[in-house]
Amino acid sequence: MVKVTNKFSPEVIKKLQHYVYRLEDPRDNKIFYVGKGKGNRVFQHVEDAGKTEDKDDVFKIKIIKEIQKSGKKVVQIIHRWGLSEDVALELEAALIDAYEPLGNSISGIRSDISPMPVEQIQDLLETKEIAKFKHNVLMIKITNDFIVKRKGIYDAVRCCWKIDPKRAEKADYVLAVCNGVIREVFEAEKWLKCSDKEFSGLKDIDKSRYGFKGRKAPSEIQNLYKDKLIPPKYRKKGMAIPTLYSFK
């Protein structure tokens, strides 16, 4: 009989190295979260669910609590193990793309380039590339699916981010980046906690993070950056952080 576990032994952790895991809902056998980690990372989400109040729950935690209330347990699957961190990052990104929509936050680990139709591949590879930014910019990565979900680029890019608001305020412009291409350029008027009423109409809000209230940048700035690829150094494989700065 297989033992129920909520913690790996040191011997197992050593052999696992980096791994990619899936969380499944036993009620319908659907995958609702994909992640990568090492040690006991796979168990952290269930542990976190016991520490939050319902009003603060993100989508992933809500699912875990619903499973627990039904009397069942979250199915935790190690998809691949014994990986280097770089390989784990690539596999995690591929699985998120394959299983989307998931309970993963948009600020979670994603590849820069997600699956797309051949027509979009054609456009992407013909897109002009920016050699160097002329302003201090904050790049925020979003996906086409999230743009549709939030019903527009502005609402998709403006929250919710694990970010230092004081640093973000130093950016001249915020770039909404999808698949490496700048889809829109914004001026952030102010950065606010996502618990602010400014974001009350948006779905899947993590109130512990930050977002901005702003407007589209002037046309001359749009012409400078919009519909162009961000510089190569910001598109390297394994750069999973969804927020990138062009300045220190």
Helix (H) / strand (E) containing 140:
strand 137-142
State the residue range of the domain holding 72.
10-99
Domain count, the chain: 2
Please check whether residues 38 and 147 belong to one and the same domain.
Answer: no
User: Of the candidates 95, 108, 11, which has an alpha carbon nearest to the alpha carbon of residue 59?
Assistant: 108
User: Of the candidates 154, 115, 129, which has an alpha carbon nearest to the alpha carbon of residue 233?
Assistant: 129
Please check whether residues 93 and 141 belong to one and the same domain.
Answer: no
**221 vs 125, more confident:** 221
Domain stops at, among 99, 126, 149: 99
Q: Is residue 227 in some structural domain?
A: yes
Dihedral in degrees, nearest 10, Cα atoms 213, 113, 163, 89: 160
Residue pLDDT, tens place only, 61-100:
889 999 999 999 998 999 888 899 989 988 988 888 787 6
Distance CA 209, CA 29 (A): 30
Q: 168 falls in which pLDDT band (50, 70, 90)?
A: very high
Q: 110 falls in which pLDDT band (50, 70, 90)?
A: very low
CB atoms inside a 10 Å sphere around CB 166: 8
Please check whether residues 240 and 124 belong to one and the same domain.
Answer: yes
- 224 token code pair: 């400078």
Q: Which pairs with CB-CB distance under 8 Å and at least 24 residues apart come from 124-130?
A: 124/179, 124/180, 124/181, 124/229, 127/181, 127/227, 127/228, 127/229, 128/228, 128/229, 129/228, 129/229, 129/231, 129/232, 130/182, 130/225, 130/228, 130/229, 130/230, 130/231
Please check whether residues 227 and 143 belong to one and the same domain.
Answer: yes
Distance CA 25, CA 27 (A): 5
pLDDT at 2: 41
Q: Which of 56-60, 107-111, 145-149, 182-186 has the lowest mean pLDDT?
A: 107-111
Q: Is residue 105 in some structural domain?
A: no
Q: Is residue 69 in some structural domain?
A: yes
